[in-house]
Structure 1
Amino acid sequence: MRLFIFGLGYAASAIADASGWPILATTRDGRAGTIRFDDDAAVRAGLAAATHVLSSVPPGENDPVLARYGDALDGRWLGYLSSTGVYGDAGGAWVDESAPIRGRRPARNAADAAWLAHGARVFRLPGIYGPGRSPLDRVAAGTAHRTRLADQVFSRIHVADIASGVVAGFTAPPGAYNLADDLPTSQDCVIEQAAAMLGVPPPAVVELASLSPAARAFYAENRRVANGKAKRVLGWRPLYPDYRLGLRAVSATMSPAAASAAPAAAKSDQR
């Protein structure tokens, strides 16, 4: 088995490690051990040798992988890392893979549909966190905030659970699969838990108007993501079914220097 990955980013790197297979992957700069996405000859040679192909490349005006290399994908296992953002705002209700696609980004919706039409396993992911990229890191860096929007909830997924879900999907039929934890909750709950674990006061409350357009758009959506299909069809279970367990695992990977920087950062955020 050989896995070809388009876009060796944070989640895709964890999947590569979890697979245990020989890997060839693309990056924008073709850094050591990878090839450039636009190196057609190298990419097509890699695809010809691959049994499984995974894309984590987000769409632009269209899906760049399907647009450039779609003709070289037939006959292989296909996987695509999509987003639960394709469901749009659900008013806090639960959504599963049968929910209508009405996300606010048409290109993302179209890419999700295009990969499904190509026979891929489309893994729809909520907020991703893990070592080096978590609420603990944001609290420690002084960049976290609260909003007091208690009724705004969202799901999340530890990067290790993405990896185990995709690997479980290597033997699964094509289709869409939500990979999410079991406990959707508000952003404030997660940030306050992170602050408590670091032994610092929770960060300041901010007004939505002061946030970037992207952040305001995030808070405009409200949904709980159901993961029952992934459990039933893939036989998958999240190792970190709630944010408390996931943050505890991340905390164990943080350096003492990062953790000790948290009090000063948190106090600075209060001003």
Structure 2
Amino acid sequence: MNLFVFGLGFTARRFVERASGRFDRIRATVTDTTRPGAGFGDVVLRGFGPDADDERIAADLADTDVLLVSAPPGREGDTVLARYREAIEKSRIGWIGYLSTIGIYGDQQGAWIDETTQPNPTKGRSHGRIAVEKAWLDLGARTGKAVQVFRLSGIYGPGRNPIVKLREGKSQRIIKPGQVFNRIHVDDIATTLLASIDRPRNGAIYNVTDDEPTAPQVVTEYAAGLADLPLPPEIDFETADLSPMARSFYGENKRVRNRLIREELGVDLAYPTYREGLAALVADASI
């Protein structure tokens, strides 16, 4: 069984590391195949950029069984579908996973939501995500290939987490009363994807998130205590020095349920809250 990955970023790399033993051949795209650390193990890299792609990608897709799409959409929609829709439709690919975001739900004023909640995006890029999700789901409906959409919450893991930000002096303890976010450890994403490959369901949409939506300053305080690092001062959200993108995240407040991945896919989260996730990073020195 062969795997092809569009977009070998943080999440996809962790999935490939966890899943490598299940595949005979793994090929994945990066924007620059010559960049140090771009590849690892036996993964064969293909260039996939704004202007030109590796000419071997179409042939690779014909020889693929499992396809993971982690590449974000471009200004004109999904670049993968724009360039390779026909190759994918004609291939023997049986499972397709598209990585999306819980941002498509927009602001829910702190309410609990699940996969039945109507998307209500507040950011332009989230509008684009909905259109791309629909395009992939339409492909599955038309071809019979099992297409699954995974809506991810805030991703953290080795090298990308609140402790790293504290150590680099880039952390802020921003206070916005009532604000909460969900998170998800990158290893729990990989577990969910593997479970879906074993139990494909064409047209499925899954929220991939932890059990405990929490105020961001609470997580920062816990991380600082674990790593014995100084805590940054409290900053009121209204006066915080934030980029427009960072500020936009605070405009969305919701609590996301993960019941479907548990009940349908049998996923047992290794890190059901930020506490287990951060503690494990400290324990194995993989911060």
> What TM-score, normalized to structure 1?
0.90
Q: Deviations over 1:18-47 (max 9, x none)?
A: 222231001101245301114353111111
RMSD of aligned residue pairs (Cα, Å): 1.5
Does the 8 Å CA contact 1:5/1:24 hold for their aligned counterparts?
A: yes
| Greater CA drift, 94-103 or 80-89 | 94-103
Given that 2:178 and 2:215 are in contact with CA atoms closer than 8 Å, whether structure 1 keeps it comes out as yes
Counterpart for residue 133 of structure 1: 160
Q: Which amino acid aligns with 1:50?
A: T
The residue number in structure 1 matching 2:33 is: 30
Q: Which moved more, 1:197-206 or 1:83-92?
A: 197-206
Aligned length: 256
Asked if the contact 2:176–2:236 (Cα under 8 Å) also holds between the matched residues in 1, the reply is no
1:12 maps to what in 2?
Answer: 12
Which residue number corresponds to residue 133 of structure 2?
112
User: For 1:211 and 1:253, how far apart are their aligned partners in 2?
Assistant: 32
**Aligned counterparts of 1:205 and 1:71: Cα–Cα separation in 2:** 53
**Which amino acid is 1:57 matched to?**
A
Report deviation, 1:115.
Answer: 1.7
Post-superposition offset of 1:190: 0.5
Q: Which of 93, 112, 115 is residue 111 of structure 2 equivalent to?
A: 93
Letter in 1 for 2:162: P
Q: Which residue of 2 aligns with 1:177?
A: 206
| Alignment check: 8 A CA contact 2:46 2:54 kept | no
Q: 1:233 aligns with which of 236, 247, 264?
A: 264
Q: 1:72 aligns with which of 80, 87, 93?
A: 87
- Aligned partners of 1:108 and 1:206: how far apart in 2? 32
Q: CA 1:148–1:207 in structure 2 vs 1: closer, same or farther (change >3 Å)?
A: closer
Report deviation, 1:205.
2.1
SS at match of 1:118: helix
- Report the counterpart of residue 143 of structure 2 in structure 1: none
SS in 1 for 2:210: coil
Q: Which residue of 1 aligns with 2:225?
A: 196
- What SS class does the counterpart of residue 26 from structure 1 fall into? strand
In structure 1, the residue matched to 2:101 is: 83
Q: Tell me which of 60, 63, 88 is aligned to 2:78.
A: 63
Listed one character per residue, the Cα deviations across residues 38-82 of structure 1 (whole Å, up to 9, x for unaligned) are: 435311111111101110011122011111111121242111110
AA paired with 2:32?
D
**Which stretches in structure 1 are left out of the alignment for 5+ residues?**
259-271
Output aligned runs, 1:203-214, within 5 Å: 203-208=232-237, 209=239, 210-214=241-245
Change (3 A) 1:56 1:253: same
Structure 2: any 5+ residue segments left out of the alignment? 141-146
SS of 1:110's equivalent?
A: helix
Match of 1:151 in 2: 178
Comparing 16-25 with 80-89, greater Cα deviation is found at 16-25
Q: Helix, strand or coil: the match of 2:132?
A: helix
Aligned-residue sequence identity (percent) comes to 43
- Residue 267 of structure 1 corresponds to none
Hey, which of these two has a bigger chunk of helix by percent? 1
Residue 229 of structure 1, CA deviation? 0.8
**Alpha-carbon distance in structure 2 between the residues aligned to 1:96 and 1:112:** 16
Name the counterpart of 1:269: none
Distance 1:229 1:64 in 2: 29
Aligned position for 2:279: 248
